[in-house]
Every structure is written in structure tokens, then in C-alpha cells.
Amino acid sequence: MYKYLFFIPSPRNIPEVKNEIVANIYKKHDVIWLKYYREIDAYKKARQFFLTSAENYDYLVIIPDDLLVNTQAFENLMAEIEKPSIDVKKYDILAGICNSSYINSEQMGQIAASNVELPTPDKTGGVLLWPHMIKFADLEKRKENILRCKFIGFSFYFIHKNVVRDIPFRVDNPDRQQGGVDVFFSADLNAQGIDQYIDKRSRFVHLRGLSAQNMKSISVNPDVMLVGKIKPHTILVKRERIVKGADMVPTLVKSEVINTAPIIEENRSIQTTEEELLGKPTEMQEHLAEIVYKKGGNSKTKYRQKNK
């Protein structure tokens, strides 16, 4: 079995997303949260940790913090990555699928992946992604489950260690970027002839833009970013594992939360307790307990925490 590091770049705090990650991934795999960093900084730090860890991970797995994990899709992807159903020895890149966003009906009806190579913003000054995305209706017409794409958003996205090593994460301008890390990463994969695939059986829900629909299906507004409002920090959650002591007797080491300050952040990381990860309301959650946002300059909707 491969060894995985699950990476959650987290500029938000959505309890429902966290709870599904805890339920499906904790205990089984190592998980690293990069909380409240600028996008590119989070990705660079995760890559550094992955490549320098003594764990010698095989895959870095990106889960955005506004992507709802579900057990069936998660297990489908894990089975496919371990034993590919297509003619490849291993996957360099494999991802699930999700709706582009909830911003409008068009984006709700398409996935965050494209059959065509997208221009990168550093060449065009900006790029409009949505017209190029694959529609769910078109996806259903395809007989195969595994499809090669030219662009894939980070929708539960597995990257083999060789690719992590060879292709660094980048954007055009960290302070005023015109495109996301995923756009540039796909462009660099295409430039080097590295194939990436989606598994259409593995479907997740992308919460981006949910506030535009006035939906109250989750406890907080998923479109509120906390970067610059809360101190950035890093959390590493270690899986349960069997270790042998000096007497060679196997011992179960339970899952644990580790402050990664000596590894990634020498001055800025802060100690975070397991209670925060498992759902006890924090100061930050209290801050989000009642968010008022405007739609079209008029209507207002309040999102209230269910776990206060």
C-alpha cells in the first residue's frame, strides 16, 4: 500500500468539511492542515514538508477546505490509485470530480476539469475557466470511468512524489494573482507531457459560491476567507500505526496532533488542540457564528453555527 499525506489548504473553517475529513481520513493516514496562509504559501510549505519528511510519502493528496468528502468517493479513489483499472503502472495524477461552484446554474452543471489546455494568466493577463469545463451531462455519455484531462481543479487530487519533486507550485503574482495554483500546475504538467486523470465515479460537493444561492445547508458561509484575520498556523495529524519497541513487541500508537513549528514554522505556528479539530467551538467559530452577507446589494441571510 502506498503512503499518503493528505494536505488541506485552509483559508476558511467549515465544520462540515472538517468533520468528514476526521471521519474518513484520520487514524488511517497522516493529514496536514495549513490554516489561514496565502494560497501559494500554503502549497509551498506543504510541498516542503512532503519532500523532506522522514516518512517518505508516495502521494500528496490535496483536499480544498470547501470540498465535502464522502466515504464512497474516497474509497473509490483509494482503490483506483492502489490498483489502476487502466493501462498504467501507477498514476502520476488522479483526482475525483466536483461541481465547479454554486455561483450559477452553469457552474453547478459542470465539473472542475477540462479536456482542453487552458491559457495561463501569466501569458494572457487573466483567464476565464468556466467556458472550458466539462458538463456533467457530457460526462455521463462517456463509457469509461477514467478520463484524461488537460486541466483539473484540485478536487481530491493525488500527486505522485516524483511529480511533487519535479513541478513546484506557483502563481503569476502572489500578491495579485490572476489564476489559482491549479491552473498553473496543470499548465506545467502539460508542458512536461505528464498525464492527469479523473475518476468520474468519485464525486464530491464543492461548496464555493453557495452563499450566492441563499442556501443554509451548512452552518457557516463557505465563501468567507479568514486569511489576514487569524494567525496562520500548521497542524499535523498522525495516523494510528503499529511500532516495535526495543523488545520488538508491536504497540499501537494512537492518532495524535503534533505542533509542526520546528519543521515548517519556526516563529509563526501556534499549538492547536485536538478539540479544535474535532468540533469544539473556537474563538474563530464564534466569530463566524452569525455572518451577514449581501446578495445583489439587497437581500441578507444569516448563517448560524449549529454547534455553538
Which CATH number characterizes residue 193's domain?
A: 3.90.550.40
Contacts of 7 (CB under 8 A, 6+ apart): 31, 32, 34, 46, 50, 60, 61, 62, 63
Grade residue 22 by pLDDT with cuts at 50, 70 and 90.
very high
Of 27-41, 224-238, 280-294, the one with minimum mean pLDDT is 280-294
Of 37-41, 66-70, 81-85, 122-126, the one with minimum mean pLDDT is 122-126
Please give the model's pTM, rounded to 2 decimal places: 0.79
Task: Kindly state whether residue 306 falls inside one of the protein's structural domains.
Answer: no
List b or e across 78-104, with b for residues whose CB sees 16 or more CB atoms inside 10 angstroms: bebbeeeeeeeeebbbbbbbbbbbbbe
CA 40 to CA 46: how far, in whole Å?
A: 10
* Cα 248–Cα 252–Cα 256 angle in degrees, nearest 5: 130
Residue 237, domain extent: 4-279
Residue-wise pLDDT tens digits, 55-107: 999 999 999 999 999 999 999 999 999 999 999 999 999 999 999 888 888 88
Task: Kindly state whether residue 303 falls inside one of the protein's structural domains.
Answer: no
Grade residue 44 by pLDDT with cuts at 50, 70 and 90.
very high
CA 160 to CA 269: how far, in whole Å?
A: 27
Based on the structure, what is the number of domains in the chain? Answer: 1
Task: Kindly state whether residue 307 falls inside one of the protein's structural domains.
Answer: no
